[in-house]
Amino acid sequence: MNPLLRLDGMSVRVPVAGTLREVVTDITLDLAPGEALGIVGESGSGKSMTARTVMGLLPRGSAVGGTVLLDGTDLYAPGRAGRAAAATARRGTGMVFQDARAHLDPRQRIGDFLTETGPAGRAGRTAAAAILDRVGIDDATRRLRQYPHEMSGGMLQRVMIASVLLAAPRLVLADEPTTALDVTTQAEVVALLDELRRENGTALVFITHDIDLAAACCDRIAVMYAGSLHEVHRADLLTTAPLHPYTRGLLASRPGTRTRAARLPVIPGRPLSAFEAPPGCAFATRCTHAADPCRETRPPLAPHDGGLVRCDRVTEIGAAPAPGEATR
């Protein structure tokens, strides 16, 4: 089957103080129709920029390299015709952001927000009420008359998801959609996205810091570090048999409920953005397994055990402890 989304050698540079700064480097990744892909990684690794590149929401003056194909349409083809084709292709996409409240006009009723782009009048209100019902909001007719301040954060996130669904998208990108919510509401919103995806056959890109959350609702997980992919694997395998030392470090530093470590293991050092990455392996400065060649040559993202991993020493380090694991 043809992929719905194909990123091929995608890189992104954004303008900062008069120069272009690389924030995403050489991303090659396919997403099948209906597939759910998690993108995980620490702050600054380029997760949001990757999603924004697909949505065409980059800062003005940014430069995109490589190709980004959505349903076969090159989203960054030059010229007016290229931009028009990209805009048409993007009609089949929707994005859910971290803070729903920040994306809603406080002076606009929920009903007006939901009917802004759809059919007007009674038909629009009926469709809006039906979609609120669908995302689990009771008493939809009353809710349509309310303003954002009259609703909780979890409910507003449901409203955002409802607005995205109104366009019947084939691809939804959710950027930290649950980070601003309490844990119970987080679980409900994840369950909702998962249910809607299964019912509608929508593909989902789910961006999060939380690897467990990604594993709960995604078929595959891509791990980003310093603007590039370091591991891509089936969600169950990535969380139980991680290949890259960085993935292993992320998993080891999760707060667990079963073990009570005196101090949670952490990956030494701080996360880097793409433009700060040293030559050679970007993770070498924090990796307890790094050897001299790692600091000289950037490893490719290569097939290994059914997944993809960017580490030349993956076979050698096999069963050795991950960064942080040794302190357990």
Ligand X SMILES: Nc1ncnc2c1ncn2[C@@H]1O[C@H](COP(=O)(O)OP(=O)(O)OP(=O)(O)O)[C@@H](O)[C@H]1O
Q: 256-259: long-range contacts at Cβ-Cβ below 8 A with a sequence spacing of 24 or more? A: 259/328
Q: In the chain, what is the straight-line distance between the N-terminal and C-terminal CA atoms, in Å?
A: 45
Considering beta carbons, is residue 46 or 265 the nearer one to ligand X? 46
**Contact between 38 and ligand X (CB under 6 A)?**
no
Check if the beta carbon of residue 326 is closer than 8 Å to that of residue 314: no
Q: What H or E segment, with its residue span, contains residue 218?
A: none
Tokens standing for residue 106: 């406080």
Q: What H or E segment, with its residue span, contains residue 216?
A: helix 211-217
Considering beta carbons, is residue 46 or 245 the nearer one to ligand X? 46
Residues 198-237 that bind ligand X (CB under 6 A): 209
Considering beta carbons, is residue 49 or 217 the nearer one to ligand X? 49
Q: What residue type is assigned to position 128 of the chain?
A: A
Q: What H or E segment, with its residue span, contains residue 38?
A: strand 36-40
CB of 310 to ligand X, least distance (A): 16
Q: Which of these segments, 36-44, 63-71, 214-222, 241-249, binds ligand X (CB under 6 A)?
A: 36-44
**Contact between 14 and ligand X (CB under 6 A)?**
yes
Rg (CA), the chain: 21
Single residue of 5, 7, 10, 23 touching ligand X by CB under 6 A: 23
CB of 176 to ligand X, least distance (A): 7
Considering beta carbons, is residue 209 or 295 the nearer one to ligand X? 209
Residues 48-77 that bind ligand X (CB under 6 A): 48-49, 59
Q: CA torsion sign, 129 to 130 to 131 to 133?
A: positive
Considering beta carbons, is residue 46 or 94 the nearer one to ligand X? 46
Considering beta carbons, is residue 251 or 272 the nearer one to ligand X? 272
CB of 49 to ligand X, least distance (A): 3
**Contact between 37 and ligand X (CB under 6 A)?**
no
DSSP for 61-119, written as a single string:
T-EEEEEEEETTEETT-SHHHHHHHHHHHHTTEEEE-S-GGGGS-TTS-HHHHHHSSS-
Single residue of 93, 115, 163, 273 touching ligand X by CB under 6 A: 273
How many residues of this chain interact with ligand X, rule: CB under 6 A? 14
**Contact between 47 and ligand X (CB under 6 A)?**
yes
Interface with ligand X (CB under 6 A): 14, 16, 23, 41, 43-49, 59, 209, 273
